[in-house]
Amino acid sequence: MPLDPLAKRFLTMMAAASPEARARPTTSERRQSLAKLMQFARTDATEVTATDGVLPGPAGDIRYRL
């Protein structure tokens, strides 16, 4: 399965960071980083679905949610 393009972009950005940028960030820098990271989040909850089921197991049924 190919890597999600947004995840690939995020990992590329992380790899490109200079060693100096890996020092402990300030609270403000952490907030800015979190705000940038949240751009990758998928917030459209209308696309979320769930399917419940049961798989047979040697010690009994195993319930799952997909």
Per-residue three-class SS string for the chain: CCCCHHHHHHHHHHHHCCHHHHCCCCHHHHHHHHHHHHCCCCCCHHHCCCCEEEECCCCCCEEEEC
Q: What pLDDT, in 10s, does the model give residues 33-66?
A: 888 887 777 666 567 788 999 999 999 999 999 9
What is the model's pLDDT at position 7? 87
Annotated domain spans of the chain: 1-43
What is the model's pLDDT at position 18? 61
What is the model's pLDDT at position 49? 82
Is pTM, for the whole model, over 0.85? no
Q: What pLDDT, in 10s, does the model give residues 11-29?
A: 888 777 766 656 778 888 8
What is the model's pLDDT at position 53? 95
